[in-house]
Structure 1
Amino acid sequence: MDAQLQRWLGWLSPGEMARHQRFVRAQRQRQFVVGRVLLRMALARLLGVTPQEIGLEEQVGKAPRLVAPVARGTPPGFSLAHSGRWVACAVSAQTALGLDVEMKDGARDLNALAAQAFDSGEMSQWERLQGLPAASRVEGFYRLWSEKEARFKLGAASGGHCLALAHAELSVALCSELPLEQPPAIEIITLE
């Protein structure tokens, strides 16, 4: 995969290359490159161009912005996510998206994470899961966490339309600004 990653580096804009070089860990660099390539491939299919024709511009503290080709009307919605060895991308011609993936890890201190990250409504939902078997609690925690992150990426703390997508190793949440008339293109790959 290293030769492939080197080739894909040529697809990145100068701003993306600068950001890529700021990552210290090799895994994070790979996640970044693979995420941007997945995004370019998905947008290219949607817009009828080659992945190399997709221009993305970095935005501080935000998702990248599509700058080429110039979209007529509403620009496509897209979102990237990564967790461990997984990278995911979703695109839609219809609406803005927020996507999150989280590796399910029951060994983590989920109560401490919930206390630190969940608001009162999410804590109430988490507390209702306490009487369930451990596997169900882990599943429930990551469902809440993923939806929270996907809503944040969408920019909708409580609004939007969210759904959980089935995956054996991951908790996957996709939120959209508008109801989805058709499922968006979602790609989830492993770096191994």
Structure 2
Amino acid sequence: MSTILPGAAIWLLDSRCIDPAQQTQYEAWLGAGEAARHARFVRPQRQRQFLLGRALLRVAMGKLLGVAPAAIALEERPGQAPRLLSPADGPHFSIAHSGHWVACALSVTTPLGLDIEMRDPRRDVLALARQAFGPAVAAELEQLPLEQGRAAFYRRWSEAEARYKLGREAASCVALDHAELAIVLCCAAPLAQAPALVLSGMAPD
């Protein structure tokens, strides 16, 4: 049975809960192009992020449409997001990962771009802000209390990445609260309600 959600939904997975047996199952879901790309990754963490991102997308889309995750076919496109081949009338989607977190966003109504970033207290966010956004933004952040400035930097960073992934002008960008992550979803059309956040253990139906 499908679970059609209004607006948009963000699925979030802590990859630390996935064991090797589950990974083997998810590898079997990959298409030929995806499997070839998966095999080319040198860093184990990046390979795992790629696999779990594609698996999470299939689980989320399967629940949304009422189909088996293995039945969802994606076309690999170098330098771009994958294209959904089957089902042909599937939803818009975006995939993101940071550290041990993997996420995907789905919408049946609007194109979207999703970004997540782990907030790392060791990073010099003011130096990063100067490099990425210029001295004026860095000066604004410097005036804020430390944690507030750090949160503002990551929100701005994630929004910039989400807008880039959207690939067009955003009608709205929404930040979601999370203990470890900055999460921003940008959409081509305004959302009628806030996106739902779904925490997944990624056990398919």
Shared fold, TM over 0.5:
yes
Contact 1:92–1:185 (CA under 8 A) maintained in structure 2: no
- In the alignment, residue 65 of structure 1 is paired with which amino acid? R
2:198 & 2:182 partners in 1: Cα distance? 14
CA spacing shift, 1:125–1:188, aligned 2, 3 Å: farther
> Aligned pair 1:90/2:105, yes or no?
yes
Deviation at 1:137, TM superposition (A): 1.0
2:113 & 2:30 partners in 1: Cα distance? 22
Higher RCO (CA 8 Å, separation ≥ 6 residues) = 2
> Aligned pair 1:135/2:150, yes or no?
no
The superposition leaves residues 144-184 of structure 1 with CA deviations (integer Å, 9 ceiling, x where unpaired) of 0000000000013x633101000010000000010112454
Sequence identity (%): 54
The superposition leaves residues 35-93 of structure 1 with CA deviations (integer Å, 9 ceiling, x where unpaired) of 1011011111222211111000011111110000121xxx5111111001110111000
Contact 1:105–1:138 (CA under 8 A) maintained in structure 2: no
Indicate which of 103, 107, 115 corresponds to 2:130: 115
Deviation at 1:112, TM superposition (A): 2.3
TM-score w.r.t. length of structure 1: 0.88
The superposition leaves residues 78-111 of structure 1 with CA deviations (integer Å, 9 ceiling, x where unpaired) of 1111001110111000111111000001211212
> Aligned pair 1:164/2:175, yes or no?
yes
Contact 2:126–2:142 (CA under 8 A) maintained in structure 1: no
Contact 1:90–1:186 (CA under 8 A) maintained in structure 2: no
> Aligned pair 1:21/2:39, yes or no?
yes
2:23 & 2:198 partners in 1: Cα distance? 18
- For 1:76, the equivalent position in structure 2 comes to 91
Contact 2:130–2:137 (CA under 8 A) maintained in structure 1: no
Aligned residues: 184
Deviation at 1:185, TM superposition (A): 5.3
2:91 & 2:127 partners in 1: Cα distance? 37
Contact 1:87–1:189 (CA under 8 A) maintained in structure 2: no
2:171 & 2:46 partners in 1: Cα distance? 29
TM-score w.r.t. length of structure 2: 0.83
> Aligned pair 1:177/2:188, yes or no?
yes
Most deviating of 40-49 and 86-95: 40-49
Structure 1 stretches lacking a partner, 5+ long: none
1:189 & 1:109 partners in 2: Cα distance? 32
Structure 2 stretches lacking a partner, 5+ long: 1-18
- SS of structure 1 residue aligned to 2:159: helix
- In the alignment, residue 59 of structure 2 is paired with which amino acid? M
CA RMSD of aligned residues (A): 2.0
